Amino acid sequence: MRCFRVALYLLILLSVLASPVAAGSRPPYTTWALGPGGRLYLTQDAYVPVAEIDLPLSGPEDLFITSEGVLYVADAGNGRVVQLGKDFTITATYGEGILTSPTGIFVDEEGTIYVADAGSKTVVILNRDGSLEAQFGRPTNPLFGRDNPFLPRKIAVDARGNLYVVSEGSTNGLVMLSRKGDFMGYFGANPAVMSLQMMLQRIFLTREQLAQFIRNEAASPSNLAIDSESMVFTVTAGTARQRSIRRFTVAGRNIFPEVHGSTSFRDIHVSDGGLVTAVDAEGQIYEYALKGMLLFVFGGKDQADQRLGTLRNPTGIARHGDRLYVLDKDKNGLVVYQSTRFARLVHEGVRRYVEGFYTQAQPSFEEVLQYNGSFIMAYQAIADAYFKEGDYVRALRYYRYAEDRRGYSEAFWELRNAVLQRYLTSALLLFLSLTVARSAVRRLDRRRGLLEPVRRWWSAAQRSRLVADFLFLFRFIRHPADSFYYIKEKERGSLRFALLLYFWVVVVRVASLYLTGFVFNPYADPSRIRAEVEVIYVLALILLWNSANYLVSTISDGEGRLRDVIIGSAYALFPYALFALPLALLSNLMSLNEIFLYTFSRNLILAWTALMLFVMVREIHNYSFSETFRNVLKTLFTMAVMVLTAYILYVLFYQLFDFVTALFRELQLRS
């Protein structure tokens, strides 16, 4: 009876482990996908946790899964590599007695096991029957470097049989070895990044002081993977999160774009279907398409309540079919995740898209949008499909949703081309007729004075002060220097108009953000523009410039009064006031092919404005050239000091406020 009960209980336990995913099981973590603006948004679960398998291991460091789905785990604590069967029992062990502390494994198609043994600092190659084929340590080749240590932690082997070893602390990248252990070179180094702080340190500190700092070296990769085309992927912890994943061509060039990533990636896996998955120290799993598009981010850290699906100390990740296997060192086990219908839909679409079958991928992605309307990848793929089919209008719309400026520009170019070809002749005809009409009106005017009332109205208008000031603006284009002189002599220009001009500049600034064409606009969506912030910036700049310039000028023999400075600066902004808005409107008709035109015009406007300000300082204060130059520098410095002072005051007052409230609370408590 007891045996029956035990057997029944075991059966139930096994069935629970092996049962199909309980529908509606709600994972303890949330899942995020890339949405508009490059931000992450909530989405349906891509993976649900299926089981947590305990394994009789001690501190496992790496796992590998073959194309048939056979799992190998590097059991570092027990100095062996174990092979797991379908039910996760140990079916074979390798390397006992040979390995000390295996931290990285790779198994090739023949079943040969390559082990990076950090304990013995060697790379060990075992045959499929477990016998030792080769074991080698630090390469003796002088090109390896005399002082470079060899601490193999992870290993991968490409189709040609070259070994790539992650050597801890190696700043030259991966160590490439032949199957015999000959050093073949370094591969895939991370660039060392210079920061402003470092540059300043280099300038100002002595050699001895510099030596005290840690040398600025490139971070060494943490882990690696090789895809079906023998391209090497590395992940590097401790670098900028956007550049942590790299994909190297044979020449060693990184072609993986900047993506949403993590600073603490532990392992990466690339599947044959073109899915890149990485797990980081926080228990988060990131999934990308091969070209670098982020698909999903999910997972979380175990908050000590042991919810299925949370991780404590992940050290390895691998995918087989629809399942992800994550090795957790602290749990001494595997956490298994299964993809949901939603994720499978995305994967199917991505696979076709990556292979270039855009049109076949379209239906999958349209269904994906049914699930989640802000899945950017879907819009990108559908836009590409429409573009390929020649439906440029739809492609344009979808590129806009996908925030793909390049694609949008190309589709726009096609459309513009088509429009031009259709309407060019009629446009020319219209232009011609307008010219004819203009000369006809002119001739009539000469003969009959047709436009006489207009001319009378115009001269009347010119007598108004504001209009005169406005027209004065145009004089700056040809005669900037003496126009400033007129301001100084109070003959032209008024304070009222100057303030109006400043207001207009603010309006232009904000309007140009809204009106610039999508291709050139830094904001993909008008709702993301923070208008108040822009306004405050412009106003602050104007205020700071005027006050700083006046203050500096008064103590360095400048002749200009405050009124002159204000009005002069206002008029000096005329290039921006006159031309920025038309340029923004014009940008709506340009594609990326004309980007030079756009950026050149924009820079021209800014340079012209700067020049005008310079001329203004010279004329208003009556300086020589070198005096003007010094004055402008001093003005800029004064502006910076003003900002700094404001910041310091803010910090001080905040501290005071904090102190007072803490005191108050303390008193309240004690009473």
Partner 1 sequence: MRKLLRVLLVLWVLGSLPAGAVSAGAPPALRPDGIPDSYRLIAENPTFRLYLNPETLAFKVLDTRSGYIWHSNLDERAPGDRLNRTWTAFAQSGLSIDALDARANVKRASITLSEHTLEIHPVENGVQAQVAFPELGISVGMILQLEETGVRVEVPFETIREEGEYRLHLLHLYPWMGATRGDEIPGYMFIPDGCGALIRFTAQTKATNMYYGRYYGADLGIQGVLPFNPHLRRPYPISVPVIGMVHGEGQNAYILIIEKGASYAEIQAHPAGIITNFNFLYNAFIYNESYFQPTSRAGDGVTAVQPRTNRYDIVIHYRFLTGPEAHYVGMARSYQQYLLEKGILRPQHSENSPIGIRLEFLGAEWEQVLFWHRPIPMTTLEQMETVLSTLNVANPQVVYYGWQPGGASAPLPVQGKLDPALGRRSELVAMAERVKARGGTFSLYYDPLSALRGGAGDVSRYDLALAINSQYIRGYHRNHPVHYLSPSAAEKRLLSLGRDVQKWGVGLAVNVLGSVLYSDFRRSHSLNREETIAAYQRMLTQSPVPIAFYGPNDYLFAYATAYYDIPLTSNGYVYVSEDVPFLPIVLSGYLPYYGEALNFSPDVRGDLLRHAEFGAYPSFFVTYEDTARILNTRSNWIYVSSYRQLKDEIEESYAWLDALLSPVRGATITGHRTIADGVVATTYSNGRQIVVNYRDQPVEVGGLVIPARDAVLREVGP
Q: Are 61 and 342 in contact (CB under 8 A)?
A: no
State how far the alpha carbon of 116 is from the alpha carbons of 101, 219, 324, 392, 607, in Å.
Answer: 9, 20, 23, 53, 58
Q: Which of residues 392-421 bind partner 1 (CB under 8 A)?
A: 401
For residue 17, the minimal CB distance to partner 1 (Å) is: 10
For residue 630, the minimal CB distance to partner 1 (Å) is: 40
Q: Which of 524, 560, 541 is nearest to 606 (CA)?
A: 541
260 or 307, CB closer to partner 1?
A: 307
Out of 371, 485, 608, 629, the only residue in the binding site for partner 1 (CB under 8 A) is 371
For residue 149, the minimal CB distance to partner 1 (Å) is: 37
Out of 127, 374, 494, 554, the only residue in the binding site for partner 1 (CB under 8 A) is 374
265 or 574, CB closer to partner 1?
A: 265
Stretch that binds partner 1, among 18-26, 210-218, 404-412, 474-482 (CB under 8 A): 18-26
| Cα-based torsion angle of the residue sequence 240, 243, 245, 249 in order, rounded to the nearest 10 degrees | -150
Out of 370, 433, 435, 462, the only residue in the binding site for partner 1 (CB under 8 A) is 370
Enumerate the β-bridge partners of residue 254: 248
Amino acid present at 209: Q
Stretch that binds partner 1, among 168-176, 317-325, 365-373, 606-614 (CB under 8 A): 365-373
Tell me the two tokens of residue 179: 């199957």
State the Cα–Cα distance between residues 413 and 424, nearest whole angstrom.
15
State the pairing for strand pair 47-54/40-43.
unpaired
Sheet containing 174-177: order of strands = 152-157, 163-167, 174-177, 183-187
State the Cα–Cα distance between residues 558 and 631, nearest whole angstrom.
9
- Interaction between residue 300 and partner 1 (CB under 8 A): yes
Amino acid present at 374: S
Q: Are 493 and 471 in contact (CB under 8 A)?
A: no
DSSP for 252-292?
S-B-PPP-S--S-EEEEEE-TTSEEEEEETTS-EEEEETTS
- Interaction between residue 614 and partner 1 (CB under 8 A): no
State the Cα–Cα distance between residues 140 and 123, nearest whole angstrom.
14
Count the site residues for partner 1 by CB under 8 A.
Answer: 69
Tell me the two tokens of residue 345: 């839909």
- Interaction between residue 661 and partner 1 (CB under 8 A): yes
For residue 364, the minimal CB distance to partner 1 (Å) is: 15
Q: Which of residues 314-353 bind partner 1 (CB under 8 A)?
A: 340-343
- Interaction between residue 42 and partner 1 (CB under 8 A): yes
For residue 422, the minimal CB distance to partner 1 (Å) is: 32
- Interaction between residue 89 and partner 1 (CB under 8 A): no
Out of 68, 305, 489, 491, the only residue in the binding site for partner 1 (CB under 8 A) is 305
Out of 34, 52, 518, 569, the only residue in the binding site for partner 1 (CB under 8 A) is 52
Sign of the CA dihedral 68, 74, 79, 82?
negative
- Interaction between residue 309 and partner 1 (CB under 8 A): yes
330 or 557, CB closer to partner 1?
A: 330
> Which helix (DSSP H) or strand (DSSP E) does residue 335 occupy?
strand 333-339
- Interaction between residue 25 and partner 1 (CB under 8 A): yes
Out of 29, 288, 504, 571, the only residue in the binding site for partner 1 (CB under 8 A) is 29
Q: Are 544 and 643 in contact (CB under 8 A)?
A: yes
Sheet containing 323-328: order of strands = 47-54, 333-339, 323-328, 314-320
> Which helix (DSSP H) or strand (DSSP E) does residue 650 occupy?
helix 625-670
Out of 3, 5, 129, 421, the only residue in the binding site for partner 1 (CB under 8 A) is 5
Q: Which of residues 483-542 bind partner 1 (CB under 8 A)?
A: 510, 525, 527-528, 531-532
Q: What residues line the site for partner 1 (CB under 8 A)? A: 5-6, 8-9, 12-13, 15-16, 18-30, 35-36, 41-46, 48-49, 52, 54, 282, 284, 299-301, 303-310, 340-343, 370-374, 401, 510, 525, 527-528, 531-532, 658, 661-662, 665-666, 668-669
